Amino acid sequence: MNKEKEAVLKQLQTWTNNIPLIVLGSGASVPFKLPSMWTLGDFLKSSISFTDSNDQAQFEKFKDEFDKTGDLEKTLTKLQLRTNVLAEIVDKTWELVNESDLKAYEKIINKEIEFPLAELLKYFLDTAGKKVSVVTTNYDRLAEYATSLAKAIVCSGYAQSHIGHFSNNIQSNNLASLNGYKGQVNIWKVHGSLDWFKSNEDENIQLPLRQSIPKDYRPLIVTPGLSKYSETHNEPYRTIFTQADSEIENANGFLCIGYGFNDTHVQPKLIEQIKNNKPIVVITKELTEKTKQSIIDNKCQKYLLIEEANYKDTKIYSSKFGEFVIEDTSYWELGEYLKLIIS
């Protein structure tokens, strides 16, 4: 076991030091108390009502379905939401996630909480020619906070201004060469961001760190379910998807943090690439069945999947060494994982 452990840890170091593309899923936000899908569904149930009887009738169906399944994505996928119902769900989703995000922001700037993602970005920027890329399905701003703490510039498709316009070619600039920054972090948010809004005039605007949704704007976040398929054909998503796809295709490998492989946009591209022998590391508290199916059952050749076991240990699934447990460790946590990488 010791030899296996040493070989696996060496493999982890090699793959991570090749600067993989970072993929952030909802599990990456859990330590910062961002709401889970279940928490969000429960909040929507208790905080929304409509005066229009047809809207309310549909929302009652939503509540019944969610009570049956406890699964927000499944519930929303079953319903073709009316315009008012969808708009209210988007607004309430924004409110709950934004409230939790701003609390996390306060803790981060007051140094009340560890923030290993910032350390990871600093490390990668120092060794990667000042350019790192992140693809995320999360709405929250944690990747942006981490980039800022790493003293790098964010490239997300929006001008980094107090009122930031969207452009489909901002990323073509060599932002990594700007004086005064440690480098550039591309952050491709395939489901939108708390900072992105669309005006009544159909203009895409970034308004950072809002405490409320501005009048005559709607949040640019894509909720689970059927609506996301139509929403994502429009800008900014069209450009974001193109860039995310390009990053995945050109990556040396992948480091997935809290990502469950349940997403229909990122997951198929990832699988395509790891089937072509690109290495993948997944660290998460609990691996989803979809993760195991996508990687182990697909007979991918280069993987290390890492999760918690027995509340105190680390379980590793390795394409080379099979399954084993390392006792009294928590390498599935990013902070502990980094201790293996950064000596």
* DSSP track, 207-253: -TT-SSPPTTEEEEE--SSTHHHHHTTSTTHHHHHHHHHHHHHH-S-
What does the angle CA 224 – CA 225 – CA 229 come to, to the nearest 5 degrees? Answer: 100
* Structure tokens belonging to residue 44: 């929507």
In terms of Cβ atoms closer than 10 Å to its own Cβ (0-12, 13-18, 19+), residue 71 is: middle
- Rounded to whole angstroms, what are the CA distances from 34 to 13, 93, 104? 29, 12, 8
Which whole number is the average pLDDT over 107-136? 94
Which whole number is the average pLDDT over 237-260? 96
> In this predicted model, what pLDDT tens digit does every residue of 222-244 receive, in sequence order?
987 756 556 777 899 999 999 99
Q: Are 182 and 130 in contact (CB under 8 A)?
A: yes
> In this predicted model, what pLDDT tens digit does every residue of 296-325 receive, in sequence order?
998 899 999 999 999 999 999 999 999 999
Q: Are 177 and 224 in contact (CB under 8 A)?
A: no
Please enumerate in sequence order all residues whose Cβ is within 8 A of that of 54, keeping only pairs 6 or more positions apart, or say none: 82
Can you give the pLDDT at residue 298? 86
Measure the CA dihedral 122/209/198/214, to 10°. Answer: 180
| Residue scoring higher pLDDT (264 or 326) | 326
Residue with tokens 């929507």: 44
pTM metric for this prediction: 0.95
> In this predicted model, what pLDDT tens digit does every residue of 1-32 receive, in sequence order?
578 888 999 999 999 999 999 999 999 999 99
Structural domains of the chain ordered from first start: 2-33+115-341 (3.40.50.1220)
> In this predicted model, what pLDDT tens digit does every residue of 182-236 receive, in sequence order?
999 999 999 999 999 999 999 999 999 999 999 999 999 998 775 655 677 789 9
- Rounded to whole angstroms, what are the CA distances from 89 to 62, 70, 93, 185, 275? 11, 16, 6, 31, 37
* Structure tokens belonging to residue 339: 């201790």
Can you give the pLDDT at residue 276? 92
Q: How far apart are CA 291 and CA 288, in angstroms?
A: 5
> In this predicted model, what pLDDT tens digit does every residue of 51-66 receive, in sequence order?
999 999 999 999 999 9
Residue 143 has pLDDT above 90, yes or no: yes
Which phi and psi angles does 51 have, rounded to 5°? -80, -30
Q: What proportion of the chain, given as a percentage, has pLDDT over 90? A: 85
> In this predicted model, what pLDDT tens digit does every residue of 266-294 receive, in sequence order?
999 999 999 999 999 999 999 999 999 99
Q: Are 330 and 315 in contact (CB under 8 A)?
A: no
